[in-house]
Homo-oligomer: A and B are copies of this chain.
Amino acid sequence: MIKEFVTLSEERKVTLTCYLEETKGEFGAVDQRPAVLILPGGGYHFCSDREADPVAFPYLRAGYHAFILRYSLNDQAVWPRPLEDYEEAMSLIRANADIWHVVPDRIAVIGFSAGGHLAACAATMSRNRPNAAILGYAVIDGPCAKDYLASAPDVPSRVDGDTCPCFVFATRTDNLVPVENSVHLIDALCRNDIAFESHIYSNGGHGLTTGEEGLNYGAFSGRYPKWVEDSISWLGDMLGGVSPSAGLTPPRFGPKVNGDRDDTLGFECTFKHLAAFPEAMEAIHELLPGIEDSVPSAAVHVIRLCDRLWDYKGDPEKLKELEEKLRSIPNRL
């Protein structure tokens, strides 16, 4: 492994620590790797060492390059300064993708507490979007953020259809950043059709980092440390992995939750979405009269046409024709 250390701003002490794993040779077709960019917490007053290297190690183990950004703090953190530090770091990583052997579109940001606020801002407001965000006991709500940095923005109101998929975890008894922060974020992700996974563990104080023995004082629920391996498994669902025979492997699921944002209509569109396209509904009804009658009204925004095709007993060719017809209708009103 190569360790590099890049100073992004001498004056504001903004630095990027790079842990770069080997590629090729004995690693076969693995000639580039996905990466994580870690944003430690510390209330925008410091960058915690407990949320830096100890977080990098498990992702390194899983085959990710790991970067740690120490961003602007205190007086020098007037917004959007920390976000600009992030932009610079992400932009540098992608610019160096070739020489650092990074897959430029498989880079996840990981942030904790105030660093989780910064990571969530990266996920929702940045120019250089991460491809996924892992947010640990993050500061999310505007009022809470302002307790630490007066100029810090609210996150939930900025979630939109371009937000990257998020992995959100916290402890319910967090005694510093109220768990509502995480709850409000996943609520916003729901409302905007963004892919996410969320784990709220019942007991434990603030700042438990990876939950490894040797990092923490107080007691916490035994499930807590599982967020680490679960987040790695989730990255595989969203972004894919690597293998020495195939190089990059595809994501198991990818971040799409339905087809409502595809270029054209299709079987993965929800009933709610299709309902706005009379031409589509006409074609659907011709083959599947009254199909939406079986769709509960409170679920029209999650049930996709394909979810109701499992008991179709008719001519498979007709079904293919319907799919082609839908694919021919541009997805705009």
Contact = CB atoms under 8 A, between A and B. Distances in A.
Contacts of A49: 22, 25-27
Contact of A144 (B197, B226, B298): B298
A197 B224 CA distance: 11
B219 A252 contact: yes
Contacts of A199: 198-200
Contacts of A296: 144, 147-148, 176
19 contacts: A1-B19, A27-B214, A54-B63, A63-B215, A143-B297, A147-B299, A176-B296, A178-B302, A183-B187, A197-B223, A198-B198, A202-B234, A213-B236, A214-B244, A219-B252, A219-B253, A221-B237, A221-B252, A223-B234
A175 B307 contact: yes
B197 A299 contact: no
Interface residues of A, number: 88
A223 B237 CA distance: 11
A203 B198 CA distance: 11
Contact of A197 (B3, B19, B186, B201): B201
Interface string A238-258: 100111110000001100010
Contact of A174 (B195, B233, B244, B302): B302
Interface of A: 1, 3, 19, 21-22, 25-28, 30, 48-50, 53-54, 56-58, 60-63, 141, 143-144, 146-148, 165, 167, 172-180, 183, 186-187, 190, 195-203, 205, 210, 212-217, 219, 221-223, 226, 230, 233-234, 236-238, 241-245, 252-253, 257, 296-299, 301-304, 307
Nearest to A177: B299
Nearest to A247: B214
Contacts of A241: 213-214
A167 B221 CA distance: 13
A320 to B, nearest CB: 21
A319 to B, nearest CB: 18
Given A196-B202, A197-B221, A223-B230, 20 more contacts: A1-B56, A21-B53, A57-B60, A58-B61, A61-B61, A63-B214, A141-B298, A144-B299, A172-B195, A172-B197, A173-B257, A179-B190, A183-B190, A198-B199, A203-B253, A213-B242, A214-B242, A217-B244, A221-B237, A223-B233
Given A180-B190, A202-B238, A302-B176, A50 B63 contact: no
A173 B301 CA distance: 11
Contacts of A57: 57-58, 60-61
Contacts of A148: 296
